[in-house]
Amino acid sequence: MRPELVCPAGTPAALKSAVDAGADCVYVGFRDETNARNFPGLNFSRKELEEGVAYAHERGAKVLVAINTFPRAGRPELWHQAVADAARLGADAAILADIGLIAHAARAHPDLRLHLSVQAAASNPEAIRFYAERFGIKRVVLPRVLTVQEIAAVNAAIRPVETEVFVFGGLCVMAEGRCALSSYATGQSPNMNGVCSPAAHVRYEETAAGITSKLGAFTINRFGRNEPAGYPTLCKGRFVAAGKASYLFEEPTSLNTLAILPELIEAGVTAFKIEGRQRGRAYVAAVVQAFRTGIDAVLAGRPVPDLDLDAITEGGRQTAGAYEKTWR
Amino acid sequence: MTETALPPSRLTLGPVLFNWRPEAMRDFYFRVADEMDVDTVCVGEVVCSKRSPFFAPMVPEVIARLAAAGKEVVLSSLALIMSGREIAEARDLAATDGWLVEANDVSVAAMMSGRPFAVGPLVNVYNEGTLAALEAMGAIRVCLPAELDAATIGALARTAGAEIEIQAFGRLPLAISARCYAARARNLAKDGCQYVCADDPDGMEVDTLDNDAFLAVNGTQTMSYHYLDLLAEMDGLRAAGVRRFRLWPQQVDMVAVAALYRGVLAGTLAVAEAQTRLAALCPGVDFANGYLHGREGCAMVESDA
């Protein structure tokens, strides 16, 4: 089976780039806190979604709408409206994380195809079957905690439910949707606000030695005068533990699975997802083209070509992350 | 609102999240059974399944002692369930008769097949819809996630059929991972971890490069450096419909800590006096309550109480 390539689009321009570069699906979010990339200047209005769906459908591609934060108690209307609009505007699926919102969507929009967001952190077949049997979830985006072997076992256990896995981009080191580190430092979190380590709480301070990056009140990293100062994503910072300073949780690095594409295809994954709705259209186009080429090569029985994505990976560093057991 | 207008509040001792040596863990629970004034005690490995085999043989003895002392015993599940062995253990736990099970993953809630269960704070319950869905599955008690503010807690408590519990003392569990940071900090892989997390019975302190205390690592779990302290907020939470408060075991005199929370709930101890005594029981500890006040979790908002 030919795996789908699912690509991010933070803007209508990126959607067109992704579709033109060979994306099978594009995923987007509305311009509010209903999705996990609630960044300034990003995301779609209702009208833009309608136009994006038309552009994609004319070219045989699908559009998925991520509504994957957790609705606030007392005011679920914003999230309910987002699901209703995704259905009304012809989205091919909604990507949801919250049990209550999934229950609502299944009840109010029985014809809307539902995918389980990575933010739901369904890490085993029992959890996935729960969402599938109770709410009709058709596909689950797996949390980035499983090895390729474990993914194969999950697929064997949950068919016909499909799985989607991240193949490239930013890398959460914690189980997604189960991390409150950002709100501990800033008051804003992925689950509640759709942001992690938000820019409004970031400061860069000049010191004699160079630049110190801070998130809220906390120093996340320091850089020398001739070093580029990276963005202070909390879990990619340098901290002191057990008597030494290190990238305790993870180095600033990007997930890149090009080299293990054959294994992921063999594991029975339905869809490959590229992270980065906050990225520009050139980035999206380059990554989509590389993975389109890679997947098509594997399916044709050829080795994965040596595609250089160094230029667009974080700090020029890449990892296969949790897909390889040694990462743990 | 007067104290007597509200139903009595209950105290839960949360499961020990750390990898304490088995004998130390057993002796702790024996002392809890004999001396601690709490209504409910949770037992079970939440963080890392590699730790379970060491304490498991002592669990029946611990449960029996707690039950004989009149404590309600709750068996807590693992939070991040991935391997076949972890799934099988969760199924065994869900099939338990006689003790309430606390689901710390959605899969365990599903495995309960409609029988009554409790929901732990590592399950994402942010709104009434999710609360109602879990209640329909059999949830009779829900300990809410750390990052909710008082207004959200109130909105949930108003509509809840289940008993609402709030974390009130100790390091907050903030994140769970497949990767072990206790091992990584010591240049070990998780597979060959040598159980080094046992060297951090109160968590491994994580400081910033400017030497500010920030977080604490408990194996695959990342916690707050600060201890949560909601002594001053419990009255307001009770009025909002919260019926139960959770104390997380730390390396301090937990019997004395529980007595302070009980005293404040019973109205026999003033909040300010309890806070002074709590600080004395936890030397060198910084406290936080920011989440409840809609702030960053690490903040400490002084109350007027």
Task: Write out pLDDT tens, residues B65-122.
Answer: 999 999 999 999 999 999 999 999 999 999 999 999 999 999 999 999 999 999 999 9
pLDDT of residue A314 exceeding 70, the answer is no
8 Å CB contact between A164 and A270: yes
What pLDDT, on the 0 to 100 scale, is given for residue A48?
97
Task: Report the distance separating Cα B226 and Cα B15, nearest Å.
Answer: 18
Query: Which of B:161-220 have CB within 8 Å of A?
Result: 172, 174-181, 184-186, 189-191, 204-212, 214-215, 217
Q: What type of residue sits at position B226? A: H
CB proximity list for A249: less than 8 A, separation 6 or greater:
A173, A174, A235, A236, A237, A239, B177, B179, B181, B222
Indicate the residue of B145, B179, B290 with minimum beta-carbon distance to A173. B179
DSSP line for B266-296: HTSS-HHHHHHHHHHHSTT--EE-GGGGTS-
Q: Where do the domains of chain A lie? A: 4-170+253-327, 181-246
B contacts of A177 (beta carbons < 8 Å): 124
Three-class secondary structure of residue B222 per DSSP: strand
Burial of A232 (0-12, 13-18, 19+ CB in 10 A): buried
Contacts of A97 (CB under 8 A, 6+ apart): A36, A68, A69, A70, A116, A117, A118, A119, A120, A177, B124
Looking at CA atoms only, how far is residue A192 from chain B in angstroms? 8
Q: What is the pLDDT of residues A21-38, one digit of tens each?
A: 999 999 999 999 998 888
**Model confidence at A1: pLDDT above 90:** no
Task: Kindly tell me the number of DSSP H helices and DSSP E strands found in chain B.
Answer: 11, 12
Tell me how far the alpha carbon of residue B233 is from its chain's centroid: 17
Shortest CB distance from A180 goes to which of B91, B110, B174? B174
Smallest Cα–Cα separation from A154: which of A289, A270, A7? Answer: A270
The arithmetic mean of pLDDT across residues B246-265, rounded, is 98
Among the listed ranges A6-10, A254-258, B18-22, which one has the minimum average pLDDT value? A254-258
Which ipTM did the prediction report? 0.96
Fold of B8-170+227-284: TIM Barrel (3.20.20)
Closest to A60 (Cα-Cα) out of A10, A85, A26 = A26
> Other C-beta atoms within 10 Å of B91: how many?
13
Mutation target vs A (from B89, B107, B128; most A CBs, 10 A cutoff): B107
- Distance of residue A326 Cα from the nearest chain B Cα, in angstroms: 7
pTM of the entire predicted model: 0.96
The alpha carbon of residue A87 and the mean position of all alpha carbons in its chain are separated, in whole angstroms, by 21
Measured CA angle at B203 (ends B202, B209), to 5 deg: 130
CB contact under 8 A, A103 and B215: no
- Does pLDDT of B305 surpass 70? no
Task: With CB atoms and an 8 Å threshold, state whether B127 touches A238.
Answer: no
How many CB pairs (< 8 A) connect A and B? 217
Tell me if B175 and A98 make a contact (CB, 8 A cut-off).
Answer: no
Interchain CB contact of B52 with A (< 8 Å): no
Distance of residue B205 Cα from the nearest chain A Cα, in angstroms: 6
Is it the case that residue A42 has pLDDT exceeding 80? Answer: yes
Beta bridge pairs of residue B245: B11, B166
Interface test with B, best of A33, A124, A144 (most B CBs within 10 A): A124
Per-window interface: A 50-109 vs B, CB < 8 A: 70-74, 76, 97-101, 103-104
**B134, B296, B300, B301: best mutation site toward chain A, by most A Cβ within 10 Å?**
B296
- Is A129 an interface residue toward B (CB < 8 Å)? yes
Averaged confidence pLDDT in chain B:
96
pLDDT-above-90 percentage for chain A: 79
- Under 8 Å CB-to-CB from A141, ≥6 apart: which residues? A95, A115, A116, A117, A118, A163, A164, A165, A166, A273
CB contact under 8 A, B156 and A101: no
Q: Is the CB of residue A181 less than 8 Å from the CB of residue B222?
A: yes
Angle at which helices A77-88 and A46-58 pack, to 10 degrees?
30
Bridge partner residues of B12 (DSSP): B40, B246
- B127·A219 Cβ contact <8 A: no
Q: Is B275 left (phi over 0), alpha (psi -120 to 50) or beta?
A: alpha
Set of chain A residues whose Cβ sits within 8 Å of the Cβ of B129: 71, 76, 98-101, 103-104
Preceding omega of A232 cis (within 30 degrees of 0):
no
Q: Which residues of B touch A124 (CB under 8 A)?
A: 81-82, 86-87, 105, 107
Query: A127, B146: Cβ pair inside 8 Å?
Result: no
Give the helix/strand (H/E) hosting B59: helix B59-68
Q: Does the beta-carbon distance from B147 to A192 stay under 8 Å?
A: yes
Q: How far is CA B93 from the centre of its chain?
A: 18
Q: Which residues contact A152 (CB under 8 A, 6 or more apart)?
A: A266, A267, A268
- Chain B residue numbers touching A227 (CB-CB < 8 A): none
**Partners of A240 in beta bridges:** A245, B207
Whether the CB of B22 is below 8 Å from some CB of chain A: the reply is no
Instruction: For residue B182, give the nearest of B164, B151, B205 by alpha carbon.
Output: B205
Query: Looking at A119-128, A249-258, B261-270, which range is the least confident one?
Result: A249-258
Distance CA B157, CA A108 (A): 25
Decide: residue A300, CB within 10 A, 0-12 exposed, 13-18 middle, 19+ buried.
exposed
Q: For B40-63, what is the mean pLDDT?
A: 97
CATH architecture of A4-170+253-327: Alpha-Beta Barrel (3.20)
For B11-46, how does the pLDDT look when each residue is reduced to its tens digit (9 = 90+)? 999 999 999 999 999 999 999 999 999 999 999 999
Q: Where are the domains of chain B?
A: 8-170+227-284
- Within 8 A of A328 by CB-CB distance, chain B residues are 178-180, 189-191
Total Cβ atoms within 10 A of residue A75:
11
Tokens of B149: 């503010």
Give the one of B207, B210, B296 whose C-beta lies nearest to A183's C-beta: B296
What confidence tier does B187 reach under pLDDT thresholds 50, 70, 90? very high
d(CA B153, CA A233): 28
Contact (Cβ atoms closer than 8 angstroms) between residue A164 and residue A269: yes
Q: What is the DSSP string of A177-215?
A: TSB-HHHHHHS--HHHHS-SS-GGGEEEEE-SSEEEEEE
> Can you give the C-alpha Rg of chain A in angstroms?
19
Q: Is the pLDDT of residue A64 over 90?
A: yes
d(CA B244, CA B249): 16
Is A222 within 8 Å of chain B by CB? Answer: yes
